[in-house]
């Protein structure tokens, strides 16, 4: 199975997935990213046994056959070091020694090829069942969250949703005046 993923998409996916510190686990299988191919495309998921985080990634898949395999954390990290506007190529093969993942990326104008031995996908924990309905958040919500998280430094007592310290002080004074 061969996957070609833009480096920018891998960087964005890794930035999200590292919110769960999967690279620091002591269990070898949890140091991997679960790659799932279905009719919609490619999704990457990580878990720490308490949380599950999953994202979709644009990829060219050849042949497009549904399946699952693991990507080691160091391979995903190596793929993010590729040149901007380049692509990383993942090739998954079953050998006598087990499953190997070959990563080919362009770094500094040179083609770099690394081979990784991966854990069995059967050892990766199953996705937890979700009760109820899953609803995607609008892009505006994520944009606003980024503004809050990466915005100017705020005082520790300031509420992050309010637009300015003045609005916070006004709301704080009204609350105290009612007491």
- Summarize pLDDT for 19-71 with one digit per residue, the tens: 888 877 778 888 899 999 988 889 999 998 888 889 999 999 888 888 899 99
Nearest by Cα to 4 from 90, 92, 100 = 90
Angle at alpha carbon of residue 88, lines to 19 and 24, rounded to 5°:
30
Half-sphere exposure of 34 (CA within 13 A, CB side): 22
Q: Crossing angle for the helix pair 7-17 and 73-80, nearest 10 degrees?
A: 130
pLDDT at 168: 44
Report which secondary-structure segment, H or E, holds 4: strand 2-6
Domains of the chain, start order: 2-122 (3.10.150.10), 139-177 (no CATH)
Q: Strand 60-62 to strand 2-6: parallel, antiparallel, or no bridges (unpaired)? A: antiparallel
Nearest by Cα to 27 from 49, 45, 53 = 49
- Summarize pLDDT for 88-109 with one digit per residue, the tens: 999 998 888 888 999 999 988 8
Quickly state the pLDDT bin for 130 (edges 50, 70, 90): confident
CA dist 76 and 70 (Å) reads 10
Angle at alpha carbon of residue 173, lines to 168 and 178, rounded to 5°:
130
pLDDT of 81 higher than 80: yes
| 3-state class (DSSP) for residue 144 | helix
């Amino acid at each position: 199975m061969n996957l070609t993923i833009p480096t920018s998409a891998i960087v964005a996916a890794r930035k999200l997935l590292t919110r769960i510190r999967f690279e620091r686990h002591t269990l070898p299988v949890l140091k991997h990213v679960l790659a799932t191919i279905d009719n919609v495309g490619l999704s990457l998921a990580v878990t720490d046994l308490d949380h599950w985080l999953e994202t979709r990634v644009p990829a060219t898949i050849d042949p497009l056959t549904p399946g699952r395999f693991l990507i080691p954390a160091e391979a995903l990290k190596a793929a993010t070091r590729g040149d901007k506007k380049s692509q990383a190529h993942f090739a998954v093969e079953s050998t006598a020694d087990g499953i190997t993942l070959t990563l080919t990326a362009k770094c500094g104008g040179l083609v770099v090829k690394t081979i990784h031995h991966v854990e069995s996908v059967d050892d990766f924990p199953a996705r937890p069942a979700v009760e109820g309905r899953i609803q995607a958040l609008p892009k505006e919500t994520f944009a606003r969250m980024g503004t809050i998280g990466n915005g100017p430094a705020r005082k520790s007592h300031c509420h992050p949703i309010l637009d300015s310290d003045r609005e916070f002080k006004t709301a704080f004074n009204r609350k105290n005046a009612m007491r």
